[in-house]
Amino acid sequence: MGLGERGKHRIEGNTLKVNELFKPTEDAGTAASGESPVEKAEIRPVGRPKGEAVKVKSFALPVGLNQRLRRFAFEQERSEVDVVRAALEAYLDAQEGK
């Protein structure tokens, strides 16, 4: 993947910038120093393992709850579906443990 001819002409003569565009970003193994308690907690895999059968569900959420879900999923860098699955699994585990 590259800049293409038009992109190269825009930054022609400044090879440092071209190289900077393609340098790797933060190392994936490096954690931020300000980890939240959620990040420190044991993380169980969420979602379905490959090959497992699924049942598609559809439901409507109130606007306020949907906004909170979208914001939380964005901040945690997870999909909304993963957040809902994890929350539902935790809720059902707690109910079965009573």
pLDDT on residue 98: 72
pLDDT tens, residue by residue, 18-67: 566 666 666 655 545 555 545 545 566 666 567 778 888 898 999 999 99
| Strands (E) located in the chain | none
63-75 and 80-96 helices, crossing angle to 10°:
100
Cα(70)–Cα(66) distance, rounded to whole angstroms? 6
pLDDT on residue 51: 73
Q: Who has greater pLDDT, 80 or 28?
A: 80
Cα(4)–Cα(52) distance, rounded to whole angstroms? 42
